[in-house]
Structure 1
Amino acid sequence: MAKTLLSFGHGYSARALARRLLPEGWTIYGTTRAPAKAEAIRESGVIPLLFPGPDCEAALAQASHILISAGPSEEGDPVLAAFGDQIAAAASRLEWAGYLSTTGVYGDHQGGWVDETTPLTPSTRRGQWRKDAEQAWQAIPGLPLHVFRLAGIYGPGRGPFAKVRDGSARRIIKEGQVFSRIHVDDIAQVLHASIHRPHPGAVYNLCDDDPAPPEDVIAHAALLLDVPAPPAVAFDEADMTPMARSFYAESKRVRNDLIKDELGVRLIYPDYRAGLAALLAQED
């Protein structure tokens, strides 16, 4: 039976999932707020919809699956604000719903390990918004919801090589700082596996096997390019945007056992070294 996915906020991760689903014969609708992005969505084989226009409601009536990538703000979740009643009415008919959240909901653990059972204690405004949005989606009766908490995303077009090449990269040093990360292709394969093995109510961490200090990733990128490692700069002295600086407010290592044990996922890129090598090979 043909399947139809309505992708709210059809961005980087959703596009990677679409590349897996389209060859299987899926119909995919992808929403955007920017008319200029509609043609690029269409060229990828996805049907573009302007959010929050009336075509979104028509697509929802056809959808067997929905994916929510659009992020919340202090006003709340934009998809629920626009179509919450319609989604609630369709909940029992939908086969799968996926919400892309963030490991930021766990807050700061001073480099310690977290898993899906760790209490949610976000320490940033964005983390609190995500926690609130997760809970709002989980409160919809009968919705076959799956929550995916994503670590730092990288992949084609989102690697460190450009900044290392142009000399703008820096190795920001903050004692004890460690991040988890995930390649976009592994996000896509986890979502794909969940769609084919649904478990309503499930929550999954999406990250690789090797949490690492951010300066190690930059240094390895330079090694792969055979150029000197970028200069080391102390965190307190670094020239950073408020957004970039906020990421350093939290340090934690994220466990990913559940995607392996429950969904049978074997990571394509189990650490940043494998992921960066692949990105460089794709560039070449």
Structure 2
Amino acid sequence: MPPTRLLIVGAGYTGLEIARQANHLGFELHTTTSNPQRQRDLQDLGATVLEWDALGDPSALLPHIDADTALIYSVPPLFKEHQPATSPEPARHVAPVLNLLQAAKDQGCTRFVYLSSTSVYGDYQGAWIDEAADLHPNRDQGKMRRDIEEALLKAPGVTTSTLRIVGIYGPGRTILTRLKSGRYALVDGGKKITNRIHVEDLAQAALAAATRHTHNSRAYNVSDGEPFAVHELVSFVCEATGLPMPESISLEDYALTASPLAVGFWTHSARVDNTRLTEELGVKLRYPNVFAGYRPLLEAFNQAPDLP
């Protein structure tokens, strides 16, 4: 039987959209977040909202988990630096996730969805990759996510789905604010190849993974499957809004003031294949490419350009 209850651990931007769609589908909703506005938004959907520290004791969540529950874990790695395990015990960044997984399994939960990232792949210099590609991350966040993925996919007695997510966009999360303020850096002319997924399609994917009929643990790339060069989107947005096209800056100059995480975006590139997402999970994308997804967002911006 498919689950009838959904527990979203770490209901942020993506988690709220998952909750909206799950509410429409009739799920009993339970969520965790410490953000006051997010708490109100979730309560408006009829969700039970909990405050829970992801480093804390998972027993506080047990009353909200049973055999009819699917659990979606949407918490980023809890540490800044990757520290490999030095003993048979799980690494410090893996242990909290496995502790929650075990607690959920003890309650009869058999479906666990982990929202990961394509950062686990590392740099493929613009080549096409699918879920069989080697994982060789060279940034701390990617290394920690890789370790968590590997532990979850090996866990017995529960169906784990790992979603390797590309850059997320949607209402309130676009390049418009930075372009409007003149803070957008077009590094090396924006020739880098990148990938995107609209938050509504990401939510679809998470719910499809939570309710899928197969019981083998799997990883899924979550992308619209239409990679593009960064300058293509920037040009598209500037032409549609009348905003000025930002000047190009070299990676070397950009790195003088940008954070390592921001620099990393411009030094890692791949074309992410989504065949498993669309064919195995059966996700029908509402926004088949970033340009289709941006059009309604740009229309809204042009009607009220002074809104954030």
Using structure 2 for the length normalisation, give the TM-score: 0.83
Once residues 192 and 16 of structure 1 are traced to their aligned partners in structure 2, the CA distance between those partners, rounded to angstroms, is: 11
Residues 14-67 of structure 1: CA deviation (Å, up to 9, x unaligned): 211111111222111111245675334323432111114654222124751100
Greater mean alpha carbon deviation, residues 120-129 or residues 210-219? 210-219
- 1:105 is displaced (CA, Å) by 0.8
Q: Which residue of 2 aligns with 1:69?
A: 74
Secondary structure, counterpart of 2:193 in structure 1: coil
Give the total of aligned pairs.
282
Q: Which residue does 2:252 correspond to in 1?
A: 236
Q: How does 1:82-93 map to 2 (within 5 A)?
A: 83-90=100-107, 93=108
Listed as ranges, the matches of 1:153-172 within 5 Å are: 153-172=168-187
Q: Comparing 265-274 with 125-134, which one deviates more in the overlay?
A: 265-274
- Tell me the residue number matched to 1:48: 49
Q: Secondary structure at the match of 1:136?
A: helix
Q: Distance in 2 between matches of 1:278 and 1:46?
A: 28
Alpha carbons of 1:51 and 1:77: their partners in 2 closer, same or farther (altered >3 Å)? Answer: farther
Pairing partner for 2:276 from 249, 258, 265: 258
Deviation at 1:123, TM superposition (A): 1.5
Aligned to 1:19: 20
Q: Which residue of 1 aligns with 2:64?
A: 59
CA distance in 2, matches of 1:32, 1:76: 19
RMSD (CA atoms): 2.3
Distance 1:165 1:36 in 2: 25
Q: d(CA) in 1 for partners of 2:263 and 2:212?
A: 38
Unaligned runs of 5+ in 2: 83-91, 304-308
Write the mapping of 1:177-216 to structure 2, written as runs, cut at 5 A. 177-200=192-215, 201-216=217-232
Letter of the 1:233 counterpart? I
Distance 1:37 1:181 in 2: 24
Of 157-166 and 109-118, the range deviating more from structure 2: 157-166
The answer to whether the 8 A contact 1:9-1:31 is kept is yes
Contact 1:103 / 1:151 at 8 angstroms: preserved in 2?
A: yes
- The one-character-per-residue Cα deviations of 1:106-162 (angstroms, maximum 9, x if unpaired) are 111111111011111112111110000111222321111111100011111110112
1:266, 1:88 → 2: CA distance?
Answer: 30
Q: Distance in 2 between matches of 1:145 and 1:232?
A: 43
SS in 1 for 2:136: coil
The match for 2:88 is: none
Code of the residue aligned with 1:50 in structure 2: it is E
Tell me the equivalent position of 2:155.
Answer: 140
Letter in 2 for 1:267: L
CA 162–36 in structure 1, closer or farther in 2 if over 3 Å, else same: closer
Q: Is the 8 A contact 2:164 2:219 kept in 1?
A: yes
Query: One-letter code of the match for 2:251?
Result: F
TM-score (norm 1): 0.90
Any idea what the Cα deviations from partners look like across 1:242-283, whole Å, max 9, x if unmatched? 221122231111101111211222221121111111212344
Which residue identity lines up with residue 72 of structure 2 in the other structure? L
Aligned equivalents of 2:241 and 2:190: distance in 1? 26
Describe the superposition over 1:173-219 as per-residue Cα deviations: whole angstroms up to 9, x where unpaired.
26862111111111012223333433331211011132122232222
Partner of 2:136: 121
The share of aligned pairs that are identical, in percent, is 28
Instruction: Note the C-alpha offset of 1:171.
Output: 1.6
Amino acid at match of 1:47: T
Give the equivalent residue in structure 2 for 1:7: 8
Distance of 1:86 and 1:204 partners within structure 2: 24
SS in 2 for 1:111: coil
Residue matched to 1:220: 236
Structure 1: unaligned runs, 5 residues or longer: none
Instruction: Give the SS at the match of 1:148.
Output: strand
